Amino acid sequence: MLPELSHEEILRYSRHLLIPDVGLDGQHKLKNSSALVIGTGGLGSPVALYLAAAGVGRIGLVDYDVVDTSNLQRQVIHGTSTVGRLKVESAAAKLLDLNPDIQIDTYNEPFTSENAMRIAKDYDVLIDGTDNFPTRYLTNDVCVFLGKPNVYGSIFRFDGQLSVFYAKEGPCYRCLFPEPPPPGLVPSCAEGGVLGVLPGTIGTLQATEALKVLLGIGEPMIGRLLLYNALDMSFDFVKLKKNPKCRVCGPNADIKELIDYEEFCGVPGHDHEDGSAGEGLDITALELKTRITPNSKLILLDVREPHELEISALPNAVNIPLGQLAGRLSELNSADDMVVFCKGGTRSARALELLASAGFKKVKNLKGGINSWAKEVDSKLPIY
Amino acid sequence: MPIIQFPALMKFYVDNQSEFRMAGATVTELLDNLLARYPALKTHLLDSNGALRRHFNIFVNGVHLRDLNGMDTTLKDDDKVILMASAAGG
């Protein structure tokens, strides 16, 4: 028996009720349905807002982050007044203001192999709005094992991808991407940036797909992948089939339960820069300050992109962007004492590996990058 | 010549082009020509055994290479070859 709609709900959803494909029956279905939104960031914001507005009866939000000012350029579910608050709380308050008739369940915890099945099992559809590879593989495998559709979206700079992975009827995420990229090869949005409206476009399309799946209407993007480019305003659709060699949904699948996804991907399950190159390889901003003296021969190597130097810079630093470093090693002397830095310490940590493999032994990574220098040494520099 | 479409995160290695023409009668030839012109791409595209990295996919006219003839898939003028890579951003 589907739940009744109150007069107020009938008014609220009147534009849905006017569409024959939705109507009262469809609105009842939405009220009786549930969606788990994994990540309340760039993608999760429009997804959760539109699902709430549409009247999806129960929405779960998984995130363990707090709202940061640098989120607000694209994470429109949060606001200036909620900076510093838990993202799930900030998002839940906004959703309940938009639609008080729905239930919001918050999970202020990382989505992990330990809790994922418990959290996901009672939801009809999962929406992947995460920012890292381990959680994407985890979300996929949870969906395969529980037989649920995974509404997938991902973004980088001006490019977006969208699909519905549903192993019962088509390919899964692993059919398309059997393995993640080697650690460090693909930059994250925290490193490479993203156009603020891009997650709005892709997230809104994810919400569309989730509603189609929940309503059972239209042709969900099962077995199809959208490749969107905002600069060209191009929408390319490609066909996807199940990969017969898929390790999780193929006929000879050997992954039968959730695994250690951070180990599988070789990276942590979050997109925060910890800014460290590892034990014994870092120097802090305060330590670096004591090393920079008038007679010091210390070389400062800035591996950021040239346009980032306009935001903040250290005097006398040599700029070689990370992508060019391998081809420009001859400009450096392996006998020099050197400190490498970037924005937050991730790219410089990678530069350190490259330099070490080329025989540079006297190199340290500025932990936390130029942002930590701005925080701890020179407050005149902005943090970005 | 076929047309190659490149993902945004790799554009840096190919003179910031997202789409360009490249000769090649098969996908293998096309990639050989691509790497000959842009050698810095090699470590990104290929693993230590010279195989396409597994977070990359190639589609010819919207169909996955796996559903065609793999790297031996033949190409003709104006075929659209999409190279796409996984991206984690959200």
Written as six digits, the tokens of A110 are 């990382």
Q: Distance between CA A326 and CA A324 in Å, rounded?
A: 6
pLDDT computed for residue A272 by the predictor: 62
Contacts of A79 (CB under 8 A, 6+ apart): A72, A90, A94
- Contact between chains at A243 and B66 (C-beta distance less than 8 A): yes
Identify residue A364 by its one-letter amino acid code.
K
Nearest CA in chain B to A46: B90
Nearest CA in chain B to A161: B87
- Contact between chains at A136 and B59 (C-beta distance less than 8 A): no
A225 neighbors A238 (Cβ within 8 angstroms):
yes
- Residue B51 sits at the chain A interface (C-beta within 8 Å): no
Which residue of B18, B64, B85 is in closest CB contact with A186? B85
Within-domain flag for B48: yes
Q: Distance between CA B36 and CA B73 in Å, rounded?
A: 20
Which helix or strand (DSSP H or E) is residue A282 part of?
strand A282-283
Contacts of A276 (CB under 8 A, 6+ apart): A282, A345, A349, A365, A367
Chain A / chain B CB contacts < 8 angstroms: 105
Within-domain flag for B90: no
A269 neighbors A113 (Cβ within 8 angstroms):
no
Within-domain flag for B16: yes
Nearest CA in chain B to A158: B8
Nearest-neighbour CA in chain A from B21: distance (Å): 17
Residue whose token pair is 């239930």:
A103
Q: Is A368 exposed, middle or buried (0-12, 13-18, 19+ CB in 10 A)?
A: buried
Within-domain flag for B14: yes
Q: Distance between CA A328 and CA A184 in Å, rounded?
A: 19
pLDDT > 70? residue B13: yes
B3 neighbors B15 (Cβ within 8 angstroms):
no
Nearest-neighbour CA in chain A from B54: distance (Å): 5
Catalytic one among A175, A189, A246, A249?
A189
Nearest-neighbour CA in chain B from A179: distance (Å): 5
- Residue B88 sits at the chain A interface (C-beta within 8 Å): yes
A347 neighbors A304 (Cβ within 8 angstroms):
yes
Which CATH number do you get for residue B15? Answer: 3.10.20.30
Nearest-neighbour CA in chain B from A32: distance (Å): 28
- Contact between chains at B12 and A323 (C-beta distance less than 8 A): yes
Measured in whole angstroms, the distance separating CA A48 from the mean position of its chain's CA atoms is 15
- Contact between chains at B90 and A240 (C-beta distance less than 8 A): no
Within-domain flag for B61: yes
The structural domain count of chain B equals 1
Which helix or strand (DSSP H or E) is residue A225 part of?
strand A224-229
- Contact between chains at B82 and A161 (C-beta distance less than 8 A): no
Nearest-neighbour CA in chain B from A260: distance (Å): 18
Which residue of B12, B40, B54 is in closest CB contact with A179? B54
In the predicted model, residues of chain A with pLDDT beneath 50 are none
Chosen for mutation from B5, B6, B9, B63 (greatest number of chain A CBs closer than 10 Å) is B9
Cα angle, residue A145 at apex, residues B62 and A3 outer, rounded to 5°: 95
Chosen for mutation from A185, A204, A245, A328 (greatest number of chain B CBs closer than 10 Å) is A185
Chain B neighbors of A132, CB-CB under 8 A? 88
Within-domain flag for B53: yes
The whole domain housing B41 covers 3-85
pLDDT computed for residue A7 by the predictor: 96
Which residue of A161, A232, A326 is in closest CB contact with B18? A232
Q: Distance between CA A133 and CA A149 in Å, rounded?
A: 18
Q: Is A249 designated active site?
A: no
Within-domain flag for B64: yes
pLDDT computed for residue A273 by the predictor: 65
Reference A204, options A51, A366, A339; nearest CA is A51
Domains of chain A: 33-265 (3.40.50.720), 282-376 (3.40.250.10)
- Contact between chains at A239 and B9 (C-beta distance less than 8 A): no
pLDDT, one tens digit per residue, over B33-54 is: 999 999 888 888 998 898 999 9
pLDDT, one tens digit per residue, over A115-126 is: 999 999 999 999
Within-domain flag for B8: yes
Written as six digits, the tokens of B65 are 């290479």
Which residue of B54, B64, B90 is in closest CB contact with A153? B90
Which residue of A159, A180, A326 is in closest CB contact with B55? A180
- According to DSSP, the residues that pair with A153 across neighbouring strands are A162
pLDDT computed for residue A278 by the predictor: 86
Nearest-neighbour CA in chain A from B19: distance (Å): 10
Q: What is the mean pLDDT of chain B?
A: 92
